Structure 1
Amino acid sequence: MDSPEMRQALAALRLRLDGGQRTLLGIAGPPGSGKSTLAARLQQQFGPDLAVVVPMDGFHLGNAIIDGTPLRQRKGAIDTFDVGGYLSLLQRLARRDEPVVYAPDFRRQLDEPVAASIAVPASVPLVITEGNYLLADHPVWRRVRAELDEVWFMDTPPDLRLARLVDRHVRFGMNRPAAEDWAGGSDEANARLIESTRSAADRIIPWS
């Protein structure tokens, strides 16, 4: 959180929040780039009364939908998310006209999304949402981008990102060869698509 880019981004975010309006901040980047880590640090920086994290991963299609289909081998690809559901949630959060909105989370231990796991009270001014495809140039994803006030893109060295991604897969149950195959295959194909969207970000945040 101590790079010049991060300090500038935080200062601008605080100014935006001073207006009292709700801000929807997106954090985009390839798998393993540190999106969820940055989102958690921002929430800690502002505190739970001012910030809540709503991950895009809560809209993974459930395994009951993708098991037995070609999507199973591409879990995490852009077409394995319920983008319509995610868009609807962002629209509700932007309206801020409900006392509480309940959002889904993704539990890596289960490898499944879990509904209504995150409470977002109307009083919270900053909603941080992190995910791979926030800047994707696809019709519905462009509507997702339009709901976000600002999107930051995580710039993480590829070797570090890949190593962290393999370690994460191992931590949640894959053996190391399988983790390396998945990270270098499906994950890397997704990463190339995501990297192509970085020029659309409002800010590039180097990993530090």
Structure 2
Amino acid sequence: MDEREVLPVGEDTGTPDEIDEDYQDAVLPGARWERRRFVRCDFAEADLRGLVTQGCVFDDCDFTRTDLGESRHTASAFRSCRFDRTVLTDTTWNGCSLLGSSFSDCRLRPISLRDCDLSLVSFGNAMLKGSDLSGLRLREANLTDANLSKTNLRGADLTGARLIGTILADADLREAVLDANGLRQADLAGAHVDVDTAVAYAAACGLIVH
């Protein structure tokens, strides 16, 4: 499909849904999937290295121990999916939604995310050090105990994100949106912030700025 014809994320693909299909241990490296929809499918331990998806939808699918390394995804939605010990190194995500998906003990670096919606995503304890998450929507994401040191979060929307124990040393938070709870929870020591965030942080901590 021509890139100019990419569907908006989550739009009806126009093809029959694949529901409760078993792809466990499937060997499909380099597969190309366009405008396909998967519901509650099991991809556990499948070899999907180099997979290319465009305009696909995955709802409540299981990617436990799946190899998705070097895969590329454009305008695809992975909603409420489980990524447990999944290989995601060298993956590229453009204009994708990962709404409500959970990532546990995954190999994430390096990873490229552009214009993606990561609202309600769980990245608890994730190693994302040095990643570029600039401009991403991370509303109500669980980033508890995640390592985001040296991460580019410039312009990211972190409204409602859980930041307890999150490591943000040397992270770029300029123009990022954080609410009062996030500012109180986060350890911002060594983080790069703009004046507005500094003032908001002071107010969240009960300081009076003159």
TM over 0.5: no
Of structures 1 and 2, the one scoring higher in RCO (CA 8 A, sep 6+) is: 1
Report the structure, 1 or 2, having the larger helix content.
1
Computing the radius of gyration over CA atoms, which structure comes out larger, 1 or 2? Answer: 2
The TM-score with structure 2 as length reference comes to 0.23
Report the structure, 1 or 2, having the larger strand content.
1
